Amino acid sequence: MQPALEVLSRGQSSSEPNGDRSIWDLVWKAKVPHKMRVFAWKVATSTLAVCENVHRRIVSVDAMCPICGVEGEDDHHALVRCTIARALRDELRKSWKLPSEENFYHTGREWLFHLLANTSTVGRALVIFLLWRVWHHRNDIIHGDGKASVAASAPYLINYLNSFHATSTNTFDPKGKAPMHHVQATPECWEETAWIVPKEGELKANVDAGWDPLTKKIGIAAIVRDHGGQVVVAAWNSVEGCFSPEEAEIHAGLLGLRLLISTSKGLGTLESDCHRLVITCQEESLDRSAHWALYSEIKEFLRVYNQISVCKADSRNNRPAHALSQLGKAGSSGISWGSPPSCVSDLVDRDCMNIV
Ligand SMILES: [Zn+2]
């Protein structure tokens, strides 16, 4: 092992991590896009597909690092010690105040926990952005064409982080010289976004509908998420022969309820931005409008699954469902389990930024 690698491998963190923090909180509450949290969680749980992990399952796969060939490729080697990891970290240090090199030392299997626990909220986000991009480079070299440039990755990450955090109401200073105003102006429409997570152990379904008065076509959508903001299932659909926006919203509500019931063990919240739908679901009395049959169906579900509540969403807090309903209105339909469809992943990430 080269001396420099040895130091990084054997060094110890100078301060003990805050015992109140859990790796779960450090990862899932990090101010980074959802896909990066998923990546960090794989590192934290030693399930990233590095050669040593793959070798354990498939003996014919070499455990040695295929990039530098110096040692076995575990997650710390791939993301911290390997040549490509060092190069990107060095490059980013010119712009970001990353934790010191000592904090990147290998402190055992929980090295990521120590690294994240010993830095600030801002530092945690920077570290996860960095490691996520290192993993991209590693895969590009091993499985892609190897053309991704480290020099180009630094400005890419800086822009990505700035645009992601431009929507946050918190001051976020990657140079570590707070207070600092946002690099980009915060779009007014995002400022008040505050999707509220469901309670731990419960799920929330956000629903929405789009109605075309000319064709009478509607698009309906529902997106079910857990208390970490993770998408359990998202579905969108196109329905014909619908005669009012309210009818469209009820169809969306029914879609959301069915998904919620099938995924939540009957504990959760249905959230719609249709005032009339919410009020009618909350009322005891029988609805006598033209939509009584559809409302009766919803109320029957709510009677059986009486631990599901119905709440009003502000339309600003219902953006992923709204965007998917527009897909449905355009004639598309689909279902996505475990992750959002890529077209709304940014909207889902923005909602996650408010999870504290
Ligand atoms: Zn290597």
3-state class of 199 per DSSP? Answer: coil
Last residue of a domain, which of 158, 190, 222? Answer: 190
Helices H, strands E: what count in the chain? 15, 6
The CATH number linked to 301 is 3.30.420.10
| Residue 156, pLDDT score | 84
What is the distance in A from the centroid of ligand 1 to the CA of 60? 19
For 311, residues 6+ apart whose C-beta sits below 8 A from its C-beta are 269, 270, 271, 272, 278
What is the distance in A from the centroid of ligand 1 to the CA of 25? 30
Q: Are residues 95 and 155 in the same domain?
A: yes
Q: Are residues 139 and 264 in the same domain?
A: no
Q: Are residues 317 and 277 in the same domain?
A: yes
pLDDT tens for each residue of the chain, 356 residues long: 333 333 333 333 333 344 446 888 899 889 898 889 999 999 999 889 999 988 888 888 889 998 888 999 999 999 999 998 999 999 999 889 999 999 999 999 999 999 999 998 889 999 999 999 999 989 888 887 777 788 888 888 888 888 777 655 444 556 554 433 333 333 322 334 478 888 888 999 999 998 777 777 889 999 999 888 889 999 999 888 887 888 899 999 999 999 999 998 888 999 999 988 998 888 877 667 788 889 989 999 999 999 999 999 887 788 899 989 988 888 888 999 998 888 888 788 777 765 54
What is the distance in A from the centroid of ligand 1 to the CA of 65? 5
| Residue 172, pLDDT score | 58
What is the distance in A from the centroid of ligand 1 to the CA of 85? 9
What is the distance in A from the centroid of ligand 1 to the CA of 30? 27
Question: How many structural domains comprise the chain?
Answer: 2
Q: Are residues 59 and 156 in the same domain?
A: yes
Angle at 329 between CA 353 and CA 279, to 5 degrees: 65
Q: Are residues 230 and 121 in the same domain?
A: no
Report the predicted TM-score, pTM, of the whole model to 2 decimal places: 0.51
Expressed as residue numbers, the domain containing 256 is 203-352
Q: Are residues 152 and 225 in the same domain?
A: no
Gap between the Cα atoms of 139 and 91, Å rounded: 19
What is the distance in A from the centroid of ligand 1 to the CA of 336? 35
What is the distance in A from the centroid of ligand 1 to the CA of 68? 4
CA 161 centroid distance within chain: 14
| Residue 327, pLDDT score | 85
What is the distance in A from the centroid of ligand 1 to the CA of 223? 40
Q: What's the distance, Cα to Cα, between the start and end of the chain in Å?
A: 42
Q: Are residues 182 and 231 in the same domain?
A: no
What is the distance in A from the centroid of ligand 1 to the CA of 73? 6
What is the distance in A from the centroid of ligand 1 to the CA of 28? 28
| 263 contacts 233 by C-beta, under 8 angstroms | yes
Q: Which residues neighbour ligand 1 (ion) by CB within 5 Å?
A: 65, 67-68, 82
| Residue 308, pLDDT score | 94
What is the distance in A from the centroid of ligand 1 to the CA of 6? 13
